[in-house]
């Protein structure tokens, strides 16, 4: 049994297949497994909470894990150790989520492209057809993650409290979420995964796209992301497309395309769930 995992900070999708790529179980979903945020104990608890994973752990021969927070050696090794302690008969590979986005969006294995993730968090890399190049290491949701779900959640909450929202949007936002200050602070400062909590607010934008306010909010985040991340690769952008993966990118395709026209880069493919493109990639040589 081969497990392929695509993990953000909010959720992790697991697919179990045989060596020919045939699915053995229904897609498994657990909470996000971000080793930059969660402890070893918490990571193990999340994995073991799945009955399907627990009951099949000894059958697993390979685990290919792609996740948010896996961009540093310390985080990667922490998660690899956790997986090895559970799937004791398996070969384990842990990679950053950007590589999953690459494999699921490029049109052919050796295609060069700039590849972006806009989900709970955000990131951007250049794939030269063989290797991944990243010029800025992500410092996470507190300092970076422009145009991500947690970025937009933060902006929406700020605009609500600073009275920068149009009245009708503010009423709709306040009726959808618990906006009590103590409740928000409790979730941000005393609960695990505050980035995932913030990202839960982002869906609101896509339910309010008849509002000029939300359209401009979306574009503002994309411009910021493009300026800070995509435009690192000015030379490469002359010849390669920019692919996007993640739910924020998928639902903001129109706004991303418009910003790309403003800033002069070529938009390529959109993939909402990178895991869907990873099965053939990992089973072709088993």
Q: Measured between alpha carbons, how far is residue 257 from residues 20, 36, 140, 181, 244 in Å?
A: 37, 32, 25, 36, 11
Q: What is the domain partition of the chain in residue ranges?
A: 2-100+275-283
- Reading phi first (left if > 0) and then psi (alpha if -120 to 50, else beta), residue 273 is in beta
Q: What is the mean pLDDT of residues 203-214?
A: 94
Task: For residue 132, give the 3-state DSSP assignment.
Answer: strand
pLDDT single digits (tens) 226-245:
999 999 999 999 999 999 99
The DSSP code for 275 is G
The mean pLDDT of 153-159, rounded to a whole number, is 98
pLDDT at position 98: 83
Report, in angstroms and rounded to the nearest whole number, the Rg of the chain calculated over CA atoms: 19
Q: Which residues contact 212 (CB under 8 A, 6 or more apart)?
A: none
CATH 3.30.420.40 describes domain 2-100+275-283 = yes
Are 245 and 253 in contact, with CB atoms under 8 Å apart? no
pLDDT at 276: 78
pTM, full prediction:
0.80
Would the pLDDT of 81 be above 90? yes
Token duo for residue 4? 């392929």
Per-residue pLDDT tens for 22-77?
A: 999 988 999 999 999 899 999 999 999 999 999 999 999 999 999 988 988 999 99
């Amino acid at each position: 049994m081969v497990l392929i995992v695509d993990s953000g900070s909010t959720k992790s999708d697991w697919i179990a297949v045989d060596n020919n790529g045939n699915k053995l179980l229904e897609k498994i979903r657990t909470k996000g497994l971000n080793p930059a945020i969660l402890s070893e104990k918490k990571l193990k608890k999340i994995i073991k909470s799945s009955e399907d994973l627990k009951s099949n752990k000894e059958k697993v021969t390979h685990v290919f894990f792609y996740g948010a927070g896996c961009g540093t050696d310390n985080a990667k090794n922490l998660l690899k150790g956790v997986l090895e302690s559970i799937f004791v008969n398996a070969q384990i590979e842990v990679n950053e989520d950007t590589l999953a986005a690459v494999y699921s969006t490029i049109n052919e294995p050796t295609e060069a492209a700039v590849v972006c993730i806009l989900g709970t968090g955000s990131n951007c890399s250049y794939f030269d057809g063989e290797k991944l190049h990243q010029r800025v290491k992500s410092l996470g949701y507190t300092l970076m993650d422009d145009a991500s779900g947690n970025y937009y959640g933060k902006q929406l909450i700020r605009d609500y409290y600073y009275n920068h929202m149009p009245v009708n949007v503010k009423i709709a936002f306040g009726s959808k979420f618990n906006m009590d200050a103590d409740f928000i602070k409790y979730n941000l400062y005393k609960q695990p995964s505050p980035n995932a909590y913030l990202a839960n607010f982002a869906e609101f934008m896509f339910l309010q796209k008849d509002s000029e306010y939300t359209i401009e909010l979306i574009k503002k985040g994309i411009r910021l992301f493009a300026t800070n991340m995509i435009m690192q690769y000015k030379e490469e952008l002359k010849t390669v497309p920019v692919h996007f993966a993640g739910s924020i990118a998928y639902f903001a395709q129109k706004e991303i395309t418009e910003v790309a026209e403003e800033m002069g880069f070529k938009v390529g493919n959109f993939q909402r769930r990178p895991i869907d493109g990873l099965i053939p990639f990992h089973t072709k040589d088993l």
